[in-house]
Structures are given as structure tokens and as C-alpha cells.
Amino acid sequence: MAKTVVPQDARQRRRRTKQGQVLSHELIVETALRMLSEHGAEGLTARRLGLGLGADASAVYRYFNGMDDLVLAIADELMSRAVQHWQPVGDWRSDLRDLGLRIHSAYLAHPQAAVLTANRVSGRPHEIAADEAILGLLRGAGFPDRTAVRIYHVFIDQSLAFAALDAASIAMPAAARQLDEEVWKATYARLPELTHPHIASTAALLVERMNLSAYPAALDMVLAAAAAELAAVTG
């Protein structure tokens, strides 16, 4: 049987934790982010959270209906951080670019959490607010609804997919990440022109950019395609 989640107005503990803090939804999410950073997804357990909070492990279940519920709260917290200081300036393309980069950056700031949550749909307030804002920009720009939904789908999935991809690289052990990065110099840059003429001709450029995230360029390509589509619709 699922444990009963304590209503919001009844959640505050009378006693402080061993760290002198009052247990709360926000404190648990913040501690979970720290646990993920230190121990990875495998280390995010109720027992470890309890130790980190200075409280009994069962206390987590007063605020969340299981660990997966906590994971969804973490996902919404990352989206909250992405949109926290975002202010649209009135140009749909610039506003979407800014928002996309903020989403990507917010997830990369917590790579272990990004890998764990980028594929989840939380259905929570900050995720919903972001979706509403994106659709509002597109519909306000004049995209027909079907087109707006298609572009929204591509935009948000691309943002989260690149966040997960880049976060997975950041979350790798430093030695493994360095080995991956050196492959472009150690292998690709040394391929002979006779057998690999195209790689050999572009080797310096590959070394220059292949260890960087492709997300900004991919985002610009999507927005450019969307702008061209809008121009065709509006004449």
C-alpha cells in the first residue's frame, strides 16, 4: 500500500534535524541534488537522504510518495532554475533561443540529476509554466497551432536530449572524459588523406569543435528553419 503523503500545511516538523534545519520539501530536493552530485543516481536512496538530512529515512515519505515522486520533483526543480530569471523581450526567436540555452545550462549545472530526469515528464508547475511560455511565443508569433505544437515538440526534446547527452559526458570520471576528448587529436587528426580524405581535410576543424556542445548550433538551425516556415505561412 502506498504511504500517505502529508498535506502541505502539515509537513513542517516541530523538531529540527541534527543539522538544525526544519525539514521541508525544498530542503529534501536540495539535499537530493547534492546526493546525486556526490554519489550518482545509484546513491540516491531514502537511507542516504536521511543521513544527509540528519533525519530518519522514513521522513522522506512524509513529503514524497516514493523515490520516483522525488525524482519528478527534482526534474521540476531543474526546470524552475532554468526559467527563474528568464524574461522575454518580445522577439519569439531570440526569446526561444535564450530559454533553450537556459534549460541546457540549468541541467548541465547538475549533470547527474540531468541524466536521471531529462527523459521524464513531471507534469509539475515549473514544467507546465515553461511549456505554456514556449507555446505562447510560437502562437503569438503567428504559427498555426499544429505547427506550433510540432516546433514546441522539437524544441523541448532537443533541449533536453542535448542536456542529457552533454551531462552524461560531464558526469563521466575525469580520466575517461579526457581519453574521449583526446581521441580527436590522437586518432582522427592522424588519419591519412589517402584512405580518409574528408576527415583529413577537416581534421583541424574537428579537433577545434568536436569536444564542444553542438546544442547552440543545433538550436540555431531549428529556429532558422522555424523562421523560414513562418515566413512562408505569413507571406
Quote the pLDDT of residue 7: 52
Cell 548541465 sits at which residue? Answer: 108
Quote the pLDDT of residue 16: 60
Higher pLDDT, 109 or 12: 109
- Whether the full predicted model's pTM is greater than 0.85, yes or no, is yes
Quote the pLDDT of residue 25: 92
- 52 vs 31, 56, 59, 117, CA distance in Å? 7, 10, 12, 21
In 3D space, the residue among 67, 65, 74, 64 whose CA is nearest the CA of residue 29 turns out to be 74
Q: Is the pLDDT of residue 10 over 60?
A: no
Q: Is the pLDDT of residue 161 over 90?
A: yes
Mean pLDDT computed over 124-134: 97
77-104 tens-digit pLDDT: 999 999 999 999 999 999 999 999 999 9
Percent of the chain past pLDDT 90, that is, above it, reads: 79
48-59 tens-digit pLDDT: 999 989 888 888
Q: Is the pLDDT of residue 22 over 90?
A: no
Q: Is the pLDDT of residue 14 over 90?
A: no
For 10-19, 123-132, 197-206, which range has the lowest pLDDT when averaged over its residues?
Answer: 10-19
For residues 98 and 76, give the distance between their C-alpha atoms in angstroms, rounded to a whole number: 19
pLDDT band at 42 (very low <50, low <70, confident <90, very high): confident
Quote the pLDDT of residue 12: 47
- 198 vs 56, 148, 189, 202, 210, CA distance in Å? 60, 38, 11, 6, 15
Domain architecture of the chain: domains with CATH? 8-65 (1.10.10), 86-234 (1.10.357.10)
Nine cell digits for residue 157:
526534446
Higher pLDDT, 12 or 61: 61
